[in-house]
Structure 1
Amino acid sequence: MPLVRNPILPGFNADPSVVRVGNDYYIATSTFEWYPGVQIHHSKDLANWELVVRPLNRESQLDMRGNPDSCGVWAPCLTHDGSKFWLVYTDVKRKDGSFKDTPNFIVTADRIEGPWSDPIYINSSGFDPSLFHDDDGKKWFMNMLQDHRRRPRAFAGIRLQQFDAEAGKLIGPCKTIFHGTELDLVEGPHLYKRNGWYYLLTAEGGTAYEHACTLARSRNIWGPYELHPQKHILTSKDAPLSPLQRAGHGDLVEAVDGKTYLVHLAGRPTTQARRCVLGRETAIQEAYWRDDDWLYIKNGPVPSLDVELPAKRNEASYWAEQRYAFDNIDGLHKDFQWLRTPQPGRIYSIEGGLQLIGRESIGSWFEQALVARRQTHFSYDAETMVSFNPDDERNFAGLTAYYCRYNFFYLTVTADARGQRELLILSSEASWPDGNLKLPLADPIQIPNEGKVRLALSIRGRELQFRYALEGETNLTNIGPVYDASILSDECGGHQAHGSFTGAFVGLAASDLNGTEKVASFDYFLYTPVRHGSDRYDI
């Protein structure tokens, strides 16, 4: 079989949950504060994946206005019970401090494309929910249990309870069936049944560099669960030079040919500071069962960068230039998402280009007009053409490389207090905990009050350079200094350890802090992957 280089879902695609239905494989991943919620990719061969749906796409299913950065949709679990798909997810409303507010929901669909049902509320006792369909027809719901009294960690184990699908609620006794190992922070549970054993796969160690997949088993679903001989069947915590770091939070699938695979999250750090600009990505490992009915990772427990899969990856499509003309009558291209709001008509329209309706600031947790796609390569070029006529310094629109409210670079068309149009770079540059812009700002460049402006950025590894050209000009001109693009990473995402969970985006934004809803019009967006010598582990 051909070797395929991990990750199989590059760029921010964390907390994978995998299921096979017939000859089709599906992976669901977390989307956090980005809307619509949950990404589901499809594959026929485990190597080539296509985004097919984001199922949480209307207000009755998901409203994240006010959710802080890296809250929102955590760790979806996608399963199929022989008749329909079940998707379980958390909409986290608070995560920092002693308390976490974590309502859990279930939606269903007969087909992966939908329509997906309105959600059923399940509980709020913890996050990372999952649903297990036992062979006797019973359904079991699990989540990690939160206990705010515990210090320093509030992770109190994996809680199990039966789910009554007809009644749409949990029934019967509940029990904490697994407390984890000394690695701590047990979460991300998945149950399986094989040869009379119940297998419990969990994530431990937090989602940074101590992360791991832990396996346990029992003859009874209620336990007690004995630990795997290795405890952690997959981890990079003891292999700091492995190209795939932060490996953990996995799910198992049996392939068409009978082989077993583990999908898991991992990060590819760059720079001496070990920063994962592309966030937590989805990787895959081959696994096998020994005669003692324990599962092992091939060549594990350290994850392999290259894995044998049934087919080759189409690398040409991965390296292809992507031009978005914003002329799709079906709406915004599926590569793009926006932040938090279930009312996209208030922030954009596609009518002769992309029209962004100026709303709140680029750091707002409620309603901001920002439309962006994932950064999926370590090096790339991005470009757009904008028409915008600001009144003053409270109107600004343009091109942004964005991680969260604390970490972004933003080349804007704006104006001074007299209404003279200018180009100005706004940068937060890891300003947690205050979220301030880094001052002093680079000197603005005055431009004519009429005409479109071409905005561009280039990222080469950790270096980011903005460029611009006025309408009618062919060549782009550098603007501002070379910035450190590596801060657009989980490690610099505005929170303490284990607190930032997304990845770098690049896209378009517009703000009107006067409240007059001034519109910025974008003709196109261009994303061009670039092969660069410093990108050692790119696909």
Structure 2
Amino acid sequence: MSGLVSGRPVGPPKGPVRRAVNPVVRGFAPDPSAIRVGDWYYLATSSFEWFPTIPLYRSRDLADWEPAGSVGTAVPGRSLLGVPDSGGIWAPALSHADGVFWVVYSIVRSLGTRHFDLETYLCTAPDVGGPWSEPVRLPGHGFDPSLLHHDGRHYLLNLQNDSRVGGRRFDGIVLTELEVPLTGGGVPDTARVRAVGPTSLLLQRDNLVEGPKITVKDGWFYLLLAEGGTGVEHGVLVARSRSLTGPYEVDDVPLLTSRDDPAVPLQKAGHGELVRTPSGEWYLTHLASRPLETPSGPRSTLGRETAVQRVVWVDGWPRLAQGGWHPATEVEVPDVTELGGVEQRGGLEIAPAWPWSTLREPAGDWVQPVPDQPGVLRLRGRQSAESLWQQSLLAQRLTEHHAEVEVTVDAEPTTFTQSAGLVLWYSTTSYYQLHVTWTEPEGEPQAGQQWAGNQGRRVLVLTHGHPDGARVLDTVALVDGPVRLRAQIDDVTARLWSASDGGPWAQIGPDVDFSELSDDFGPRLRFTGAFVGISAVDLVDGAFTADFSDWTLRYRSTMPGD
């Protein structure tokens, strides 16, 4: 496969243009689904086991995106407790019809088995900022659902999963019509949605295809497919038909992929959706990653991110405007300065609002502001870093490869079952935890709690979570009072530090391999990116608390490829 398709790259879009630098939504923001409503573009991404569920973004120009809320009602009961790492909400698809925003998605509850044990749901809202309806279950044949609204009718697309012994987990794309009654006011009554008519098989391929999206243009139904899995073989394949139910003719070249050239800065390019500008230009939103080279091969610590590409139409097929099928790191987009650009919303830095995230449930009474101490948060300890249930973890996505994070923790644990501090996080089997905790007097072996005479001491422990089991990298005695913690991340290496009572910084433990906090490490499927955050643990009664203050997260480079 070469890097060029016949024909030359085309010129810039019509009218004034500006530059978009990919990824346009940086850090963990996979499986983007984009639409335009009026002068705004809206984007939904996967959230997996993290809350807020289904983060939403908006933009005026496809280059600058701001948070626009989330689908906070997406999970029945607001709980993903017990779902595996990289389970939860996969590949939401956003759409707009009949004056309403729609989002369909799957909740995946099993990984590494024949059955994904999933449910497919629909939520709607009059505005992207909500309020979003309670989820309504749809007949999902597999994950990656999407909706087509066409000629006043509604259709659900799905991957088909043949979960029988010997079946194929990716066994084609199916379509089912949905009947959506209207209320007396003419608004879709999605609480009464139901499937009608037969389910149609649109396309089957020998290679893996998923993520179906349909775009209607010039009498053609264009079926965009995510091809080859979500790793380095990923891509966007296009098929078309004059009939919605097929047969579909498959394009003989991919619309987008980087699988043939590991030197392309944006790897894993795939899972795309087409969106049209008000002036009639076409763009593709898609996922991609910025891998780092390691002795074990490329690893993507920032996860899969959202990028955009300009698209033109050649002989009835979509093609990248720059020629070929490789994603560009810089793309010209229409300049919409006259529309006022993107409005900036305040308050986003205040926990536990965005960009803070929590695992498997929304932030609850375990995280509270400290009265009369602005900027101080109190976390009440709950379960351990390896729990799939109630963790007291508050974290932010990393968006660049060079970062520093600092926080002050004030905690007085009195048992080894209590701890609190800084965490570098990917999953319950891949993390670095720098926690204030309790241990036996110096020189004594671990012997459980020593109750008599209040024996023991406060220490700082660096723990390395690993698929083969956790291990302690360092234990350092602490003086009384708050302790300042810091992590410095430089590409594939991280260093952790502490300082007490205004003293100098001291490194805790060795340099650690930050590339383990990536999609590409370990024996199992992994789909999220690295986070940094704070956490607290109390394994006995969930009563221990720790106060956190002076949180800072700084990036030392924001240029693509750095």
- Do they fold alike, i.e. is TM over 0.5? yes
Identify the range of structure 1 (166-175 vs 195-204) with the bigger mean alpha-carbon deviation: 166-175
1:306 paired to 2:330: yes
SS at match of 1:345: coil
Aligned with 1:109 (options 125, 131, 137): 125
Q: Deviation at 1:300?
A: 2.7
Letter in 2 for 1:505: F
Q: Retained in 2: the 8 A contact 1:37–1:62?
A: no
1:211 paired to 2:234: yes
Residue in structure 1 matched with residue 103 of structure 2 by the alignment:
87
1:49 paired to 2:65: yes
Q: Retained in 2: the 8 A contact 1:325–1:523?
A: no
Q: Deviation at 1:311?
A: 4.2
Per-residue deviation, residues 344-392 of structure 1 (Å, max 9, x unmatched): 2243122342111100001211110000000001001000011111112
Aligned with 2:193 (options 152, 168, 177): 168
Give me the whole-angstrom Cα distance separating, in 2, the residues matched to 1:152 and 1:8: 38
**What fraction of aligned residue pairs are identical, expressed as a percent?**
37
SS at match of 1:103: strand
The correspondence of residues 58-77 of structure 1 with structure 2, limited to 5 A, is: 60=76, 62-77=78-93
Give me the whole-angstrom Cα distance separating, in 2, the residues matched to 1:495 and 1:119: 34
Q: 1:160 to 1:280 in 2, by over 3 A?
A: same
Residue in structure 1 matched with residue 460 of structure 2 by the alignment:
423
SS at match of 1:213: strand
Letter in 1 for 2:361: T
Q: Retained in 2: the 8 A contact 1:415–1:421?
A: yes
Q: Report the structure number with the largest CA radius of gyration.
A: 2
Letter in 2 for 1:423: L
Q: Deviation at 1:2?
A: 3.1
1:527 paired to 2:553: yes
Would you say how many aligned residue pairs link Structure 1 and Structure 2? 507
Aligned with 1:437 (options 445, 456, 470): 470
SS at match of 1:30: coil
Q: Deviation at 1:152?
A: 7.7
Aligned with 1:483 (options 490, 512, 516): 512
The correspondence of residues 145-160 of structure 1 with structure 2, limited to 5 A, is: 145-149=160-164, 151=166, 153-160=168-175
Q: Retained in 2: the 8 A contact 1:61–1:118?
A: no
Q: Deviation at 1:44?
A: 0.5
Residue in structure 1 matched with residue 261 of structure 2 by the alignment:
239
1:378 paired to 2:404: no
Residue in structure 1 matched with residue 361 of structure 2 by the alignment:
341
Aligned with 1:280 (options 296, 299, 304): 304
Residue in structure 1 matched with residue 423 of structure 2 by the alignment:
400
Q: Deviation at 1:150?
A: 6.4
Aligned with 1:262 (options 284, 293, 296): 284
Residue in structure 2 matched with residue 141 of structure 1 by the alignment:
156
Q: Retained in 1: the 8 A contact 2:311–2:319?
A: yes
Letter in 2 for 1:109: A
Q: Deviation at 1:149?
A: 3.0
Per-residue deviation, residues 96-140 of structure 1 (Å, max 9, x unmatched): 122211100000000111000001100242000101100x20000
SS at match of 1:2: strand
Residue in structure 2 matched with residue 194 of structure 1 by the alignment:
217
Q: Deviation at 1:170?
A: 1.3
Give me the whole-angstrom Cα distance separating, in 1, the residues matched to 2:78 and 2:298: 34
Letter in 2 for 1:526: T
Give me the whole-angstrom Cα distance separating, in 2, the residues matched to 1:389 and 1:368: 19
Q: 1:121 to 1:234 in 2, by over 3 A?
A: same
Letter in 2 for 1:148: S
Give the TM-score, by structure 1 length: 0.90
Q: Retained in 2: the 8 A contact 1:47–1:312?
A: no
SS at match of 1:146: coil
Give me the whole-angstrom Cα distance separating, in 2, the residues matched to 1:419 and 1:110: 58
1:78 paired to 2:94: yes
Aligned with 1:37 (options 53, 73, 79): 53
Q: Retained in 2: the 8 A contact 1:52–1:113?
A: yes
Q: Retained in 2: the 8 A contact 1:203–1:211?
A: yes
1:451 paired to 2:489: no
Give me the whole-angstrom Cα distance separating, in 1, the residues matched to 2:40 and 2:464: 44
Q: Retained in 2: the 8 A contact 1:158–1:179?
A: yes
Q: 1:195 to 1:325 in 2, by over 3 A?
A: closer
SS at match of 1:517: coil
Q: Retained in 2: the 8 A contact 1:61–1:119?
A: no
SS at match of 1:224: coil
Residue in structure 2 matched with residue 504 of structure 1 by the alignment:
530
Q: Deviation at 1:312?
A: 10
Q: Deviation at 1:333?
A: 3.0
RMSD (Å), alpha carbons: 2.0
Q: 1:459 to 1:287 in 2, by over 3 A?
A: same
Give me the whole-angstrom Cα distance separating, in 1, the residues matched to 2:243 and 2:555: 50
Q: Retained in 1: the 8 A contact 2:225–2:238?
A: yes
SS at match of 1:486: helix
Give me the whole-angstrom Cα distance separating, in 2, the residues matched to 1:357 and 1:111: 35
Q: Retained in 2: the 8 A contact 1:325–1:525?
A: no
1:368 paired to 2:405: no
Give me the whole-angstrom Cα distance separating, in 2, the residues matched to 1:198 and 1:58: 29
Q: Retained in 2: the 8 A contact 1:101–1:124?
A: no
Q: 1:536 to 1:257 in 2, by over 3 A?
A: closer
1:177 paired to 2:192: no
Residue in structure 2 matched with residue 318 of structure 1 by the alignment:
none
Q: Deviation at 1:69?
A: 0.2
Residue in structure 1 matched with residue 541 of structure 2 by the alignment:
515
Give me the whole-angstrom Cα distance separating, in 2, the residues matched to 1:457 and 1:254: 42
Give me the whole-angstrom Cα distance separating, in 1, the residues matched to 2:149 and 2:348: 44
Give me the whole-angstrom Cα distance separating, in 2, the residues matched to 1:399 and 1:190: 41
Q: Deviation at 1:393?
A: 1.4
Residue in structure 1 matched with residue 273 of structure 2 by the alignment:
251
Give me the whole-angstrom Cα distance separating, in 2, the residues matched to 1:76 and 1:211: 18
Residue in structure 2 matched with residue 14 of structure 1 by the alignment:
30
